[in-house]
Amino acid sequence: MKYISTRGQVEPVEFRQAVLMGLADDGGLLIPERIPDAAGRMDAWRGLGYADLAFEVIRLFVTDIPESDLRALIDRTYADAFDPAPAPTVRVGDLHVMELWHGPTLAFKDIALQLLGNLFEYILAREHTTLNILGATSGDTGSAAICGVRGREGIRIFVMHPHGGVSEIQERQMTTVLDDNVHNLAVTGTFDDCQRIMKDLAADLDFKRPYRIGAVNSVNWARVLAQIVYYVKAAFDVQQATGAAAARVSVPTGNFGNILAGWYAMQMGAPISQLLLATNRNNILDRFFAAGTYSLGTVYKTFSPSMDIQVASNFERYLYYRTGEDAEALRAMMARFRKTGELAVPPGPDGVVDPAIASGMADEDQTLATIRRTWREHEYLLDPHSAVGVCVAERLAGDGGDPIVCLATAHPAKFPAAIEQATGEDLAHHPAIDALAEMETRCTVVPNDKEKVRRFIVETVGARS
């Protein structure tokens, strides 16, 4: 399996090179040259444990790592870091909820980033090289990425977050990690600014190559690949519980990486009939799937900060397929978007942009009401991001169709203020979160300026790799 760029100006590369490259060298995103058809394998995969299922899915995309080594990497990733399991599914009223927050930082990002940390270490050892990771986070990616690579040989990580734009707990999860190879940068801007700086620096090959700049954001294909696994498992779990032929999956969505993994799972033949895209007030993606127009708006701060995004970096992968895999057309589309802040994809003759993806938005009042109602009726506590997904799922469930599983993307203890406002009770606790209050922190505030970020990296790294 080779990997190509959405913008068509990079020679195909193997998986290991794709992992280290992160963002494609032409500024696009790496994707597999083809999507494997696994429809005929689904019956054999039902009933597999998580690590076994992960191996079966991932090995279809990885042909330059011996299967015995890949198996060992996957087993090590999912053996001990998740309690009690990476992705258990529970029943909550008429819905099913897949809990993706059982990893070390209590967010769904752990499922992919624990694996990515092991892949980085494995590949760097065989390439006899080093890596300087530059990441941007709207909340959970940063702490999960740091946890995945802290203390590892040959790796430094620089994580940018919007100064004052993540929750206090999300910030402390990052800044209390004091390992020498971890550097937290609070950028005086929005997450979109952080992401723009990351992409601009990664596209500067005169900087990227000598300084060995890599990525842990979902621009890195390995992130999306690891997430495909739990979509297959979610569909199996719902089938087993209900006897239905397929499931719908509701996904709290900001940067489009998570739901994109579900889209790939559908293309592979997983028994998923539709994805339900759920946004908060920052509803650029909901507006796109409603009318086909993707246009920038104001970034609002909400109770679900990981979704406070306008420019969804993974959307380019989806648009590549919507252009008929025409890299030249995609390049022109992205150039127009960068210039005007808007792009469009015409809906079909039935007025539907994509029948595989329905969408909806939950505002702040609706999010809090969903948390409150779910707790009172089912004694089940949702974090604000997961509540957005449940709110939209409940609304779209009225359309009929297959049963719905909602992805719960973070533990509620990460957002205690929102939980208390919703329920009137101090319910959101976890020992790992409570311990953060007494820990020392380290962070550098930097201007919203890519040259200042570049200078910080150069001064920290010192002599070029």
Strands 89-92 and 95-99: antiparallel
CB 115 within 8 A of CB 147: no
Pairing of strands 357-361, 272-279: parallel
Q: Cα separation of 418 and 277, whole Å? A: 22
CA distance 280 to 451: 32
Query: Which are the contacts of 68, defined by CB distance < 8 A and separation ≥ 6?
Result: none
Q: Residues, the chain, total?
A: 465
3-state SS, one letter per residue, for the chain: CCEEECCCCCCCECHHHHHHHCECCCCCEEEECCCCCCHHHHHHHCCCCHHHHHHHHHCCCCCCCCHHHHHHHHHHHHHCCCCCCCCCEEEECCEEEEECCCCCCCECHHHHHHHHHHHHHHHHHHHCCCEEEEEECCCHHHHHHHHHHCCCCCEEEEEEEECCCCCHHHHHHHHCCCCCCEEEEEECCCHHHHHHHHHHHHHCHHHHCCCCEECCCCCCHHHHHHHHHHHHHHHHHHHHHHCCCCEEEEEECCCCHHHHHHHHHHHHCCCEEEEEEEECCCCHHHHHHHHCEEECCCCCCCCCHHHCCCCCCCHHHHHHHHCCCCHHHHHHHHHHHHHHCEEECCCCCCCCCCCCEEEEECCHHHHHHHHHHHHHHHCCCCCHHHHHHHHHHHHHHCCCCCCEEEEECECHHHCHHHHHHHHCCCCCCCHHHHHHHHCCCCCEEECCCHHHHHHHHHHHHCCCC
Catalytic one among 109, 208, 233, 450? 109
Q: Which token pair is 324?
A: 């008929």
Measured CA to CA, the distance from residue 64 to residue 2 in angstroms comes to 9
Is residue 450 among the annotated active site residues?
no
Which amino acids are annotated catalytic? 109
